[in-house]
């Protein structure tokens, strides 16, 4: 039974860390950079980790084995920009398309130590909420600015002397505490200027363009998603490459230039690791259209930078003669803060993607990750430092699970003391499996040992670890937050590079605590193969977690230090109240006859 206990523990741990490695390894990788695309203009200037401006118009045609990319655009020459701003955001609206060119986040810097804000949709395929697929009303059409106040901007355009289009944007005023400061109310009204009905109206709205946020960003959370009221439908950059599992079964899966998912759309989002644009129409949409976008390489990186642009398709009725049709919705453009998004009415917090993958779901990350995010934010409110908040949160979780871990430690010590007797039982009944099981269970019962007791801490720890990992990946609050020597808790704490290999201190400390903890923990098994596995596990886990965020390694290190202190106390003060006798009843044979006591072999 002790072998089963050990094996189960090892399997669970390997599953947990394997899931983290798998999801990171299988993150959407950049598509092959095409040798060709074209743009209507040069992209706007950018700094820091934002894509740098580049001229792409002279590139040759793309080969057939790469998908076509949506063209980058910039504001038209002579375009008039109108600004809406409060204490959190600055919206820059353009009269071409009557849409949002980009959004600057005042609370989030573009780079560590920079005073410039991060700008969402700075380099883009289209302005946010620009019409698509309708000539003369899309991003190339110039709208007239009708009204601009501190909280409202209104545009108007006339289409072929037939339709008047009015577009209105409202942002919460500075100092206003009602509603969310990142939320923009949008309304578009079509008015028929003739007596004849209009059967087709612009019904495709762009959601923006998402891009990688740093060279450390693996693109795991860069995607376009919709929510149908039950679950999200996610499209990654990898889906445009073709090949994959379908090709293994002989099915053709060529590269794609566009992917459309028809179906109910309660909200649609374009997002990267830390920021998102989410549009929630009053009346659900009917589909989402996704295209890859080739962006200039990030500063400090030579890898292709492939982003995504998405558009939501709306179901608009025909426009009667002299009639009007209005669609409206709420646009959130801001950081992926769970505590903020969880207050919205249509499950917009699922943008966090806590339980997208199978391993996240089997370890209940959809429940654990939100709870840990709430706890971490609560701790930060109390102490004012995110690193200290993680430390306190870890200690609190360890205190809560202390009764279980103490019980497991005592069980492990009892199992260790029973090893001589269990070995004697194995030798006596090595050719009688049924009697061996009966004798073993009788031995456990006699000494009040739960053979599964050692698995309880593992079962508790794995969901916490996986949930914490899931929570950290999209937590914008940790971006560029320093602690001790680390400059960014959301990235590896690299302090130097040795022959190109990053030197990350926190994962090394985590591995050291695991090695010492393994030496302190009672090892009931005398199986040499299992002992070798346990000795290798700290090295294995350190390598797996080496390039994960510093916050995750900090959590694991504090968790290990607490466990070490706990085990030292258990080893010093815990005494088994039930002494181990030299002979114990070890089971019952056929016919109810008592099996003779088993005496452990004498040590030579």
Pair of tokens at residue 370:
């939100």
CB-hemisphere CA count at 13 Å for 494?
A: 12
* Per-residue pLDDT at 576 exceeds 60: no
pLDDT of residue 314: 92
Q: Please compute the mean of the pLDDT values over residues 311-331 and round it to a whole number.
A: 92
pLDDT in tens, 361-370: 888 888 888 9
Residue where the block lists tokens 């694991």: 556
CA-to-CA dists, residue 400 to 35, 381, 394, 405, 575, angstroms? 56, 21, 10, 10, 23
Sign of the Cα torsion 427, 433, 435, 437 reads positive
Q: Angle 528-545/550-573 helices, nearest 10 degrees?
A: 150
pLDDT in tens, 540-567: 777 777 777 888 888 888 888 888 887 7
Domain boundaries, the chain: 2-22+390-573, 86-353
- Counting Cβ atoms within 10 Å, is residue 74 exposed (0-12), middle (13-18) or buried (19+)? middle
pLDDT in tens, 423-480: 777 777 777 777 777 777 777 777 666 666 666 666 777 788 788 888 887 788 888 8
* Per-residue pLDDT at 7 exceeds 60: no
Do the beta carbons of residue 564 and residue 538 sit within 8 Å? no
- Which pTM was predicted? 0.77
State the chain's mean pLDDT as an integer: 77
Q: Buried (b) or exposed (e) across 80-93, using 16+ Cβ within 10 A?
A: eebebbbebbbbbb
* Share above pLDDT 90 across residues of the chain, in percent, rounded to a whole number: 27
Residue 147 — pLDDT band, cuts 50, 70, 90?
very high
User: Is 221 or 525 the better-scoring residue by pLDDT?
Assistant: 221
Do the beta carbons of residue 49 and residue 299 sit within 8 Å? yes
pLDDT in tens, 397-433: 888 877 777 777 666 666 767 777 777 777 777 777 7
Q: Is 86-353 a CATH 2.70.98.90 domain?
A: yes
pLDDT in tens, 341-375: 999 989 999 999 888 877 778 888 888 889 889 98
C-alpha 549: how far from chain center: 12
The continuous run of DSSP H or E covering 373 comes out as: helix 365-383
Sign of the Cα torsion 358, 360, 362, 364 reads negative
Give the phi and the psi of residue 589 in degrees, each rounded to 5: -90, -170
């Amino acid at each position: 039974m002790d072998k089963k206990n050990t094996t189960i523990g090892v399997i669970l741990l390997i599953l947990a860390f394997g899931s983290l490695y798998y999801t990171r390894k299988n993150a959407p990788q950049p598509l092959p950079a095409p040798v060709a695309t074209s743009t209507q203009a040069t992209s706007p200037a950018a700094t820091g980790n934002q894509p740098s401006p580049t001229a792409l118009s002279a590139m040759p045609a793309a080969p057939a084995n790469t998908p076509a990319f949506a063209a980058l655009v910039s504001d038209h020459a002579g375009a008039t920009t109108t600004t809406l701003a409060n204490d959190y955001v600055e919206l820059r609206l353009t009269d071409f398309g009557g849409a949002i060119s980009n959004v600057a986040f005042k609370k989030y810097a573009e780079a560590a130590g920079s005073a410039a804000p991060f700008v969402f949709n700075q380099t883009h395929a289209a302005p946010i909420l620009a019409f698509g697929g309708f000539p003369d009303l899309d991003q190339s059409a110039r709208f007239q600015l009708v009204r601009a106040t501190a909280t409202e901007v209104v545009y108007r355009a006339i289409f072929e002397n037939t339709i008047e289009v009015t577009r209105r944007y409202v942002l919460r005023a500075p100092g206003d505490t009602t509603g969310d400061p990142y939320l923009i109310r949008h309304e578009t009204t079509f008015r028929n200027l003739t007596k004849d009905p209009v059967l087709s109206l612009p019904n495709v709205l762009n959601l923006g363009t998402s891009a990688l946020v740093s060279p450390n960003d693996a693109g795991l959370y860069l995607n376009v998603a919709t929510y149908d009221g039950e679950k999200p439908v996610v499209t990654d950059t990898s889906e445009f490459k073709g090949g994959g599992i379908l090709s293994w079964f002989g099915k053709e899966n060529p590269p794609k230039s566009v992917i459309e998912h028809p179906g109910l759309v309660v909200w649609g989002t374009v997002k990267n690791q830390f920021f998102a644009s989410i549009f929630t129409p009053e009346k659900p949409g009917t589909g989402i259209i996704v295209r890859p976008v080739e962006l200039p390489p990030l500063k400090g990186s030579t890898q292709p930078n492939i982003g995504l642009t998405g558009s939501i398709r709306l179901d608009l009725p025909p426009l009667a003669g002299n009639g009007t049709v209005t669609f409206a919705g709420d646009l959130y453009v801001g950081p992926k803060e769970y505590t903020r998004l969880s207050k919205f009415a249509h499950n917009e917090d699922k943008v966090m993607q806590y339980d997208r993958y199978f391993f996240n779901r089997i370890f209940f990350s959809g429940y654990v990750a939100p709870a840990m995010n709430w706890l971490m934010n609560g701790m930060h409110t109390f102490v004012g430092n995110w690193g200290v908040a993680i430390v306190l949160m870890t200690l609190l979780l360890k205190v809560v699970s202390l009764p279980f871990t103490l019980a497991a430690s005592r069980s492990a010590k009892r199992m260790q003391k029973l090893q001589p007797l269990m070995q004697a039982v194995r030798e006596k009944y090595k050719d009688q499996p049924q009697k061996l099981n009966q004798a073993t269970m009788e031995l456990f019962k006699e000494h009040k040992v739960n053979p599964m007791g050692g698995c309880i801490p593992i079962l508790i720890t794995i969901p916490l670890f996986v949930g914490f990992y899931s929570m950290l990946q999209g937590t914008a609050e940790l971006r560029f937050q320093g602690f001790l020597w680390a400059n960014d808790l959301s990235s590896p704490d690299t302090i130097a590079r040795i022959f190109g290999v990053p030197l990350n201190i926190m994962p090394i400390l985590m591995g050291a605590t695991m090695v010492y903890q393994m030496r302190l923990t009672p090892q009931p098994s005398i199986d040499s193969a299992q002992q070798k596995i346990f000795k290798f596990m700290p090295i294995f886990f350190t390598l797996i977690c080496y390039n994960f965020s510093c916050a995750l390694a900090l959590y694991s290190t504090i968790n290990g230090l607490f466990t070490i202190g706990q085990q030292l106390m258990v080893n010093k003060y815990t005494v088994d109240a039930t002494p181990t006798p030299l002979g114990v009843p070890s089971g019952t044979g056929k016919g109810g006859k008592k099996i003779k006591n088993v005496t452990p072999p004498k040590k030579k």
